[in-house]
Amino acid sequence: MKNILLATAGLTPQIITETLYALLRREDPFIPDEIHIVTTAEGRHRAALRLLDPKEGHLRRFAEDFGCPGLASALPEKNIHVFTAADGTPLNDIETEEGNAAAADMITSIVRDLTARPETRLHVSIAGGRKTMGFLVGYALSLFGRRQDELSHVLVDPPFEGNPQFFYPPPENRVLFDRYGRPVNTDDANVRLALIPFVRLRGGLPRELLRGHAGYSDVIASAQLQFTEPALEIRLEQRQALFGGVPVPLPPRILAFLCWMARLRHNGGEDGFIQGMDIDALAILECYRKIPMKPAEGARSEHLLRELAHSGGPEERKAWFDQVKSRYHSALRKALGEAGALPYRLTSRGHRPSTRFGLTLEPDSISIG
């Protein structure tokens, strides 16, 4: 697999080489083919000077010291990702609510993209930068991380922690000076990696979010569906259906169909389960007419519902039911994922040819307005 290191960094770019040192000394060494950094504008400036400078760059020195020539080119400047404000201005810090929101969205996008390639293995280090940065990157990995991905924090003991002269223990020891001017030997430096277990929620996310460009808040809301009590709210006049508080766009005829099925469940008649051939086209039409239509919408579906109500036979009604049910389930999976959609699917009961379908939601968790 192709190895990728993603690290948070603030004003101490040596976090990167310290992490590389700890990864290299594991029983199963992890040598990145790509390195990505998320940081601020000032963090990028420091990383570029101290890690990538052609003469003084510590990343090139590290690659030479430990015989890993590929590391020298694993971090091009384009892989140093800088947080930006809504207007595109690079941020020197993420102190404001707007800055935190922008950072969360950027981190979500980067982690989603880096985990989208199946032939890769991602190692995420949260050792550098503000605590907020580490939290966001770690949480994003929990949302998108796969079985092969890892999360860690690098630990460096005093007096080497935060020492601007110290980037890693070199093969040939050096004498540095601590913050008090006392000499210290790099042979005494203790750099170790702490792996952090994390819950992988990727399997419960909708495919649309795994492939798309949804921001941090949208992804969190979708993931939260796995842990909240199911609730369905239908707002016909707003052309909306909310599943656990998450709006899912549904075409008018599917929304009207769902409204009718929800009423059956809410009212409790025969537990709200019906056979496809027993649809009440007039009742669905009643829901349909409450939905505000856009220009050129509505005439064809309304005509079809009228035909089903007055002259449609059992086979025609069942075919319509199966088609709308299928499209409803497809819209749910696309918006909520398999796990999120499960409580809202139409469940089957009985055996053919007497199979019945209905919602299994608790009646008091259904709201129709």
> 9 Cβ partners below 8 Å, 6+ apart?
15, 16, 37, 38, 39, 43, 47, 128, 129
Q: At what angle do helices 252-267 and 281-288 cross, to 10 degrees?
A: 120
Beta-carbon-side half-sphere exposure of residue 149 (alpha carbons within 13 Å): 30
Beta-carbon-side half-sphere exposure of residue 63 (alpha carbons within 13 Å): 18
At residue 216, φ and ψ (nearest 5 deg) are -55, -50
Q: What is the dihedral of CA 123, 127, 132, 135, to 10 degrees?
A: 40
Q: Give the predicted TM-score (pTM) of the model.
A: 0.71
Q: Using an 8 Å Cβ cutoff, are 73 and 112 in contact?
A: no
User: How far is the C-alpha of 37 from the C-alpha of 77, rounded, in Å?
Assistant: 10
Confidence of residue 296 (pLDDT cuts 50, 70, 90): low
User: How far is the C-alpha of 162 from the C-alpha of 24, rounded, in Å?
Assistant: 21
Strand 240-243 to strand 246-247: parallel, antiparallel, or no bridges (unpaired)? antiparallel
Write down the pLDDT at residue 67.
95
- For Cα atoms 94, 97, 102, give the angle at the middle one, nearest 5 degrees: 65
Per-residue pLDDT reduced to its tens digit, 234-286 = 999 888 899 988 888 898 889 999 999 999 998 875 588 989 888 888 889 88
Write down the pLDDT at residue 3.
98
Q: Which residues share a beta bridge with 120? A: 2
State the chain's mean pLDDT as an integer. 89
Write down the pLDDT at residue 108.
93
User: How far is the C-alpha of 110 from the C-alpha of 125, rounded, in Å?
Assistant: 14
Q: Using an 8 Å Cβ cutoff, are 336 and 308 in contact?
A: no
Q: Which residues share a beta bridge with 225? A: none
User: How far is the C-alpha of 273 from the C-alpha of 288, rounded, in Å?
Assistant: 20
Which domains does the chain carry? Answer: 2-220 (3.40.50.10770), 229-368 (no CATH)
> Is pLDDT above 70 for 299?
no
User: How far is the C-alpha of 144 from the C-alpha of 111, rounded, in Å?
Assistant: 7
Confidence of residue 215 (pLDDT cuts 50, 70, 90): confident
